[in-house]
Amino acid sequence: MKTIFTKEFNSFFASPIAYLVMGVFLLINSLFLWVFQDDFNILNAGFADIRSFFYLALWVFLFLIPAITMKSFADELNHGTIEILKTRPISDWQIVLGKFWASLLLVVVALLPTLSYVFTVYLLGNPIGNIDLGSTFGSYMGLLLLAASYTAIGLFTSTLSSNQITAFLLGIFITFLLFYGFDAISNSFDQQLAIQKIGINEHYKSISRGVIDSRDLMYFVSVTVFFLFMTKNRLENE
């Protein structure tokens, strides 16, 4: 797995993908949080809080993570190297997990500079340090769990087509469906909360408030494991 992980992670930085992903992620968040005069602007909020960042990030991830994962298996299928990969003395699980951790680590690297937002708001607080750090880092945990789920979904969709654009669009579709689709569907039924809890949004809202509930943790772990398992099954059938 280490070989696959290293090869995959280095391939991101050998091409413009890593720099583009990090650049776009930081640019979009920085513009909305510090420059544009809108509801997301931290300086206009009147209090030391970066909840708007966590709301923005989940929508940016909806497009950015499928862009990271779209080539993971689609490129292998397109060039016929998937057969060579499978003949190596490594299991399908090692291949899947190696690509998963490499993609997720790139997301973590993109998130690291955003800690400067926390430091800036910490200094801007009145008095200095007037920010709920526990809630903030709980929200970061929620964002990482969300990123893990999106990454697993993106890997799965990259096994469905040898075309990277198709894999990218399928990734966006499934992540959007899981994130917002069940909220929309629930409006047509009486048991709204039960249906909403199937979707990602309800669990992300809970954990992004800094409330670490074991049910939310299990939900994200289950979604991630499920799509990794689906990816592994697809790889077996190639």
- Cα separation of 160 and 67, whole Å? 15
Query: What pLDDT score does 228 carry?
Result: 96
Q: What does DSSP assign to residue 154?
A: H
Query: What pLDDT score does 157 carry?
Result: 95
Query: What pLDDT score does 61 carry?
Result: 92
- Give me the mean pLDDT over the 131-145 stretch: 83
Grade residue 158 by pLDDT with cuts at 50, 70 and 90. Answer: very high
Structure tokens at 79: 């060039």
pLDDT over 70, % of the chain: 89
CB atoms within 10 A of CB 94: 17
Phi, psi of 2 (to 5 degrees): -60, -40
Using the predicted structure, report yes or no on whether residue 194 has a pLDDT greater than 70: no
Long-range Cβ contact pairs of 33-37 (< 8 A, separation 24 or more): 33/117
Query: What pLDDT score does 151 carry?
Result: 96
CB atoms within 10 A of CB 150: 31
Using the predicted structure, report yes or no on whether residue 166 has a pLDDT greater than 90: yes
Angle between helices 164-176 and 51-69 (to 10 degrees): 150
Query: What pLDDT score does 174 carry?
Result: 93
- Give me the mean pLDDT over the 38-60 stretch: 78
Contact 210, 135 (CB under 8 A): yes
Structure tokens at 52: 């708007």
Instruction: Give 39 or 142, the one with higher predicted confidence.
Output: 142
Query: What pLDDT score does 152 carry?
Result: 96
Query: What pLDDT score does 85 carry?
Result: 76
pLDDT, one tens digit per residue, over 203-234 is: 887 777 767 778 888 989 999 999 999 999 98
DSSP string, 122-150: HHHSSSTT-S-HHHHHHHHHHHHHHHHHH
The SS3 assignment for 169 reads helix
Look at the pTM and tell me if it is higher than 0.85: yes
Query: What pLDDT score does 202 carry?
Result: 78
Of the candidates 149, 201, 202, 221, which has an alpha carbon nearest to the alpha carbon of residue 157? 149
Using the predicted structure, report yes or no on whether residue 190 has a pLDDT greater than 60: no
Query: What pLDDT score does 188 carry?
Result: 63
Whole-number average pLDDT of the chain = 84
Structure tokens at 16: 């413009």
